[in-house]
Amino acid sequence: MQRITIDPITRLEGHGKIEIFLDGDGNVANTYLQIPELRGFEQFAVGRPVEEMAVITNRICGVCPEAHHMAAAKAADAAYHVDPPRPAKLLRELLYSAFYCTDHTTHFYVLGGPDFVMGPDAPVAERNILGVIHKVGLEIGGKVIQMRKYGHTVIEMIGGRKVHPCTSIPGGISHGITEEQRAEIEGMGRWAIEFAQFSLGLFNDVVLGNDAYRDLILGDIYYHRTYSIGLVDENFKVNFYDGKVSVVDPNGKRIGKYAPAEYSDWIAEHVEPWTYLKFPYLKKIGWKGFVDGVDSGVYTATPLSRLNAADGMTTPLAQAEYEKFYAALGGKPVHHRLAIHWARLIELLYAAERWVQLATDPEITSDNFRTVPTATPTEGVGIVEAPRGTLTHHYWTDARGVVTRANLIVGTTNNYAPISMSISKAARAFIKQGTVVTEGLLNRVEMAFRAYDPCFGCATHALPGQMPLEVTVRSAGGAVVANLRQFC
Amino acid sequence: MSNNSQDSKPKFAMYWAAACGGCEIAVLNIHEGILDVDANFDVVFWPVAMDTKYKDVEAMEDGSITLCLFNGAIRNDENAEMAHLLRRKAKILVAFGSCACEGCIPGLANLYSKQAMLDTVFSTLTTDNPQGIRPQIAFQAPEGELSIPYLFDTVRPLDHVVRVDYYIPGCPPESPQIAAVVGLVIQALRGEAQLPPVGSVLGVGNSTVCDECPRKRSEKIITEFRRMATYQPNSTDCLLEQGILCSGLATRSGCQARCPSANMPCIGCYGPAAGVVDQGARMMSAVASVVGSNDPKEIERIMDGIVDPAGTFYRFSLPASLLGHARVG
């Protein structure tokens, strides 16, 4: 059987690799997305004090360490049976909102955006952030750098460091902020709102204003009817830091909502022998393989799924965009995978508005930022929405608070099955009997997973270029028929 | 990047092995400084930023890459192959960040066997795995063979696998320190500065985190070790004097004491201080010297307050330490 190997695509704390097998006619028979690395945090968490999970597990990912820091801190709160005082929660969420702005910005401008701003078939040398800047102006490049700087400034002020923040501890946070810092944070947040609005405007002009892109977004290739999950507050509005996880079916019907401690009633993970990563699915529906539909437990945890799983946004500007989004795409739920890019920008606006809300809360500069735990620790689950999906940390401890067992279900992992399905569908659509495999093909296969902002593109957030992709077309005997590469 | 580069410029590469991506983010956080890199180097290989492939690197002449920043530890055979390849191609190979220098947090896996790690990961609470499936290096799928890299038994730092010219420690290295090192290399390439002796640790201070720490220090006499989980230290006095196990004493300066400044203990990410071979051993001897008792029973009681000695003292440096790994198997 002929095969096309895409190796490496890029990293998930290692490399991703795609194998595309062709049948005798040259049509796609099957595809495999393999994750070839494992570091085993669940093992070496054992023996460590549970309060250190917030600084140990953030080393899972240096792009979204804030998410691991928060999920681990919340799990440690729960393990110590302590509810942090309100100002501590505000400070954590403020850090987290600034982080979201930084993270979503880099994805849109560096990773996902170039496909649209430059076009899916633009020359590879131009289809990157530098191309975007050349096309839309240097000023925008400056804004992107400014947004990243502002986000990291807030992260460092509250979290102690720009990468791998360290300050969230059981019962709250290690220090507060001054009025002077608060005012600076508020100013940066107001700028972030304008930046988010500008970004939505750019998306509207460049992407939605282009019929070819609209067709691409609304077409069949990048489309899967799966379940959606996302964290919501008590009014079923999107929240990144706290709440319960809402689950809706492919028709948009809510089938339930679970608290962090109930996650194992809802989520299970399927194992395949050809990859180091597991495939989470909805336990109540069951694993039916790599298929979508109401009977398949495959779900997504993305910006789009968060909007699908919620009833709206708590901030006015983001709520208006939310309504516009569903009006334009034919109502809830939306399953067009490329619409994740649009949903991400709505979340960017929400995060910026939330940043200002939190920075102007009268309690944000309070000295009451810690309740020191007194209970004997036992077990705790913490959930936050990482930019790439619902993040669950679960620790069991002995009476001294030393971890005896751990379970982590990480952002991108949630989406492993749907990403695999999207790759498969795009490959089947573009690689057919007699097709000449071109560079444009590579990019369209890439676009299938790039929409998810997968963490195997973790640091690919950061600078020019695409996921590194190589496609080797081999004959059934293994000889190389064609070799295509992308260059920046 | 390469589309506006010139062949005459020195060539720059950055690679990650078993890593988290934080080192790449730290490099990007030099913000406009990244334009200096672009102006002075031809960036030939940087998976985060561009799509040059391993094959393209293999095709480069040996020694043709002027500067290669290598981050991440050596966890599997693919990491090791890339280390050897980039050693051949690079004139200056830098172990960049804690994973490449000392093994970092993922190096704590060396306290356990590889098999224990696989068994744990593939039997967690939510794992649906009644058949006890483990990932297979080579798997016969119906359509053909699928392969994934081989995991080594332990995590190793870069210099256990290849010769390293310089070290830039930190988890991740602080961005101003990165900018300063990049500036120095650019100057050296222009003949305006000397590169330091091979083997040097760059982007650091020459003392300990304690020497950069703004907290007030007096005599250290510890009668009880306390944990951040159940104690709120004051924000002005030395954390170790308050009973919090802070690794500043044994850890190299260079970060401006970021964590202690945020009312959290140093966790040791900058690796052993200058002249210190084994960060954990140094930390243990430092702790032993501040325990405020001569009574063996009382000493035992005080030391029992350290609930995770291996993880506390060797949090970032186990693979590079004299211990290396636990005896397992």
pLDDT classification of A259: cutoffs 50, 70, 90: very high
User: Smallest Cα–Cα separation from B13: which of B72, B92, B103, B84?
Assistant: B92
Q: Which of A174, A390, A442 is the best residue to mutate to test the B interface, defined by the most B CB atoms within 10 Å of its own CB?
A: A174
pTM of the entire predicted model:
0.93
Domain boundaries, chain B: 2-105+154-189, 114-153, 209-313
Confidence (pLDDT) at A479: 38
Q: Which of B23, B32, B50, B313 is the best residue to mutate to test the A interface, defined by the most A CB atoms within 10 Å of its own CB?
A: B50
Question: Residue B149: which of A36, A50, A159 has the nearest Cβ?
Answer: A36
Question: Residue B3: which of A43, A125, A458 has the nearest Cβ?
Answer: A125
pLDDT classification of A126: cutoffs 50, 70, 90: low
pLDDT for B96 beyond 70: yes
Kindly determine whether residue B105 and residue A56, on different chains, have CB atoms separated by under 8 Å.
yes
Question: Residue A42: which of B2, B120, B259 has the nearest Cβ?
Answer: B120
Kindly determine whether residue A43 and residue B117, on different chains, have CB atoms separated by under 8 Å.
yes
Above pLDDT 90, what percent of chain A?
Answer: 64
pLDDT classification of A123: cutoffs 50, 70, 90: low
Above pLDDT 70, what percent of chain A?
Answer: 86
Residue of chain B whose alpha carbon sits nearest to that of A47: B308
Confidence (pLDDT) at B5: 42
Q: How does the average pLDDT of chain B come out, rounded?
A: 91
Q: Which of B14, B98, B121 is the best residue to mutate to test the A interface, defined by the most A CB atoms within 10 Å of its own CB?
A: B121
Strands (E) in B89-189, as ranges, are 90-96, 127-128, 138-141, 144-147, 151-156, 166-168
Confidence (pLDDT) at A331: 95
pLDDT for A377 beyond 70: yes
Q: Which of A131-145, A247-261, B179-193 is the least confident region?
A: A131-145
Read off the pLDDT of residues A239-249 as tens digits, 9 standing for 90 and up: 999 999 999 99
Mean pLDDT of A374-378: 98
Confidence (pLDDT) at B232: 98
Confidence (pLDDT) at B54: 72
Confidence (pLDDT) at A454: 67
pLDDT for A358 beyond 70: yes
pLDDT for A290 beyond 70: yes
Confidence (pLDDT) at A464: 29
Question: Residue B143: which of A21, A36, A65 has the nearest Cβ?
Answer: A21
Which residues of chain B make contact with A373, given a CB cutoff of 8 A?
229-230
Confidence (pLDDT) at A411: 81
Which residues of chain B make contact with A59, given a CB cutoff of 8 A?
20, 22, 104-106, 171
Is residue A139 classed exposed, middle or buried when 0-12, 13-18 and 19+ CB atoms within 10 A define those classes?
exposed
Confidence (pLDDT) at A473: 43
Kindly determine whether residue B25 and residue A13, on different chains, have CB atoms separated by under 8 Å.
no
Confidence (pLDDT) at A301: 96
Confidence (pLDDT) at A286: 97
Confidence (pLDDT) at B159: 97
Q: Which of A138-142, A339-343, A481-485, B103-107 is the least confident region?
A: A481-485
Say if residue B176 is preceded by a cis peptide, omega within 30 of 0: no
Looking at CA atoms only, how far is residue A207 from chain B in angstroms? 24
User: Smallest Cα–Cα separation from A64: which of A350, A464, A459?
Assistant: A459
- What pairs with residue A246 in β-bridges? A230, A257
Mean pLDDT of A469-488: 39
Residue of chain A whose alpha carbon sits nearest to that of B261: A160
Kindly determine whether residue A462 and residue B308, on different chains, have CB atoms separated by under 8 Å.
no
Which residues of chain B make contact with A374, given a CB cutoff of 8 A?
230
Helix intervals (H) in B13-153: 22-28, 33-40, 54-59, 77-89, 97-101, 114-121
pLDDT classification of B111: cutoffs 50, 70, 90: very high
pLDDT for A485 beyond 50: no
Kindly determine whether residue B230 and residue A372, on different chains, have CB atoms separated by under 8 Å.
yes
pLDDT for A143 beyond 50: yes
Provide the 10 A C-beta neighbour count for residue B3: 15
**Could you report the predicted ipTM of this complex, rounded to two decimals?**
0.94
Kindly determine whether residue B148 and residue A3, on different chains, have CB atoms separated by under 8 Å.
no
Domain boundaries, chain A: 2-37+434-485, 224-335
The CATH number that domain B2-105+154-189 falls under is 3.40.50.700
Mean pLDDT of A277-282: 95
Of residues B105 and A442, the one with the higher pLDDT is B105
In this structure, the dihedral spanned by the alpha carbons of residues A54, A60, A66 and A72, taken in order and rounded to 10 degrees, is -30
Looking at CA atoms only, how far is residue B294 from chain A in angstroms? 26
Q: What is the residue type of B33?
A: G
| Beta-carbon contacts of residue A486 (< 8 Å; ≥ 6 apart) | A124, A439, A442, A443, A466, A468, A469, A470, B51
Helix intervals (H) in A360-438: 411-414, 416-430
Kindly determine whether residue A43 and residue B121, on different chains, have CB atoms separated by under 8 Å.
yes
pLDDT classification of A480: cutoffs 50, 70, 90: very low
Looking at CA atoms only, how far is residue B239 from chain A in angstroms? 12
- What pairs with residue A162 in β-bridges? none
Of residues A62 and A406, the one with the higher pLDDT is A406
Question: Residue A174: which of B104, B128, B262 has the nearest Cβ?
Answer: B262
pLDDT for A4 beyond 50: yes
Q: Which of A218-227, A341-350, A391-400 is the least confident region?
A: A218-227
Confidence (pLDDT) at A459: 29
Instruction: Using DSSP bridges, classify how beta strands B138-141 and B144-147 pair: parallel, antiparallel or unpaired.
Output: antiparallel
Question: Residue B172: which of A8, A61, A62 has the nearest Cβ?
Answer: A62
Strands (E) in A285-374, as ranges, are 299-300
Question: How far is B300 from A247, CA to CA, in rounded Å?
Answer: 52
Kindly determine whether residue A55 and residue B267, on different chains, have CB atoms separated by under 8 Å.
yes
Looking at CA atoms only, how far is residue A148 from chain B in angstroms? 8
Which residues of chain B make contact with A264, given a CB cutoff of 8 A?
125-126
Provide the 10 A C-beta neighbour count for residue A150: 24
Which residues of chain B make contact with A42, given a CB cutoff of 8 A?
120-121, 124
Instruction: Using DSSP bridges, classify how beta strands B166-168 and B90-96 pair: parallel, antiparallel or unpaired.
Output: parallel
Read off the pLDDT of residues A12-52 as tens digits, 9 standing for 90 and up: 334 577 888 888 888 889 999 888 778 889 999 999 999 99
Mean pLDDT of A244-272: 98
User: For B146-177, b where at least 16 C-beta lie within 10 A, e where not — what string?
Assistant: bebbebbebbbbbbbbbebbbbbbbbbbbbeb
Above pLDDT 90, what percent of chain B?
Answer: 78
Query: By three-state DSSP, how is residue A331 classified?
Result: coil
Helix intervals (H) in A14-85: 41-44, 53-56, 65-79
For residues A394 and A196, the answer to whether their CB atoms sit within 8 Å is: no
Which residues of chain B make contact with A470, given a CB cutoff of 8 A?
53, 55
Residue of chain B whose alpha carbon sits nearest to that of A478: B144
pLDDT for A154 beyond 80: yes
pLDDT for A109 beyond 70: yes
Looking at CA atoms only, how far is residue A322 from chain B in angstroms? 31
Question: Residue B121: which of A38, A160, A458 has the nearest Cβ?
Answer: A38
Kindly determine whether residue B136 and residue A55, on different chains, have CB atoms separated by under 8 Å.
no
pLDDT classification of B7: cutoffs 50, 70, 90: low
Question: Residue B308: which of A47, A61, A488 has the nearest Cβ?
Answer: A47
Of residues A283 and A487, the one with the higher pLDDT is A283
User: For B78-96, b where at least 16 C-beta lie within 10 A, e where not — what string?
Assistant: bbbebbebbbbbbebbbbb
Kindly determine whether residue B18 and residue A264, on different chains, have CB atoms separated by under 8 Å.
no
Of residues A108 and B228, the one with the higher pLDDT is B228
Q: How does the average pLDDT of chain A come out, rounded?
A: 87
Kindly determine whether residue A59 and residue B118, on different chains, have CB atoms separated by under 8 Å.
no
